[in-house]
């Protein structure tokens, strides 16, 4: 499940990281959202922080289209790798990133990053680091 943050944080993320985030809208309905950024120490990497797709829009390729939309932007011209963190129980998110790796013809690697001991809440699962790449930029034609 998606970690829920304050409305203010989402507005701030979209404001500060508008070149690496996307909101998919269908009429007046928010169908999906991806927030990401390029870490200052890794200018060749897009870190995808959150991916959310409304229930009625799942399993239709929307998340993949949103990710490719971000990667096709000039702000991501130097991106060769994609990173994200995912909890072990978040199988849909893992499958999405495996699909993205397959679509972008990049290697998919996963391993531990933050253990449960890193979190203040004892109920938070460990976060595994997903690394995809190098990606093939020729796969960025967005429909």
pLDDT in tens, 96-116: 999 999 999 999 999 987 766
In the 3-class helix/strand/coil scheme, how is 70-118 assigned residue by residue?
HHCCHHHCCCCEEEEEECCCCHHHHHHHHHHHHHCCCEEEEEEEECHHH
Query: Interior CA angle at 125 toward 83 and 88, to 5°?
Result: 60
Per-residue tokens: 132: 């995809």
pLDDT in tens, 19-62: 999 999 999 999 999 999 999 999 999 999 999 999 999 999 99
Local confidence band at 10 (pLDDT 50, 70, 90 cut-offs): confident
Domain ranges of the chain: 7-139
The stretches of 6-48 forming alpha helices (DSSP H) are 7-16
- CATH 3.40.630.30 assigned to domain 7-139? The reply is yes
Q: Residue 122's pLDDT is what?
A: 66
Name which of 57-66, 78-87, 112-121 the model is least confident about. 112-121
Cβ atoms of 32 and 23 within 8 Å: the answer is yes
**pLDDT higher than threshold 70 for residue 119:** no
Q: List the one residue out of 139, 141, 136, 114 whose CA is nearest residue 125.
A: 114
Q: What is the mean pLDDT of residues 73-83?
A: 96
What are 48's strand-pairing partners?
36, 84
Q: What is the mean pLDDT of residues 56-85?
A: 95
Separation between Cα atoms, residue 16 and residue 11, nearest integer Å: 9
Query: Interior CA angle at 75 toward 134 and 83, to 5°?
Result: 40
């Amino acid at each position: 499940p998606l970690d829920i943050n304050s409305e203010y944080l989402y507005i701030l993320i979209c404001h500060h990281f508008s070149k690496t985030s996307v909101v998919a809208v269908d009429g007046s309905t928010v169908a999906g959202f991806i927030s990401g950024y390029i870490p200052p120490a890794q200018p060749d990497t897009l870190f995808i922080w959150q991916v959310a797709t409304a229930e009625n829009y799942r399993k239709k390729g929307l998340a993949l289209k949103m990710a490719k939309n971000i990667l096709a932007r000039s702000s991501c011209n130097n991106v060769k790798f994609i990173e994200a963190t995912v909890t072990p129980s978040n199988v849909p998110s893992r499958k999405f990133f495996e699909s993205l790796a397959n679509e972008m013809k990049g290697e998919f690697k996963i391993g531990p990053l933050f253990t449960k001991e890193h979190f203040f809440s004892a109920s938070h699962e460990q976060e595994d680091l997903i690394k995809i790449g190098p990606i093939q930029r020729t796969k960025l034609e967005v429909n």
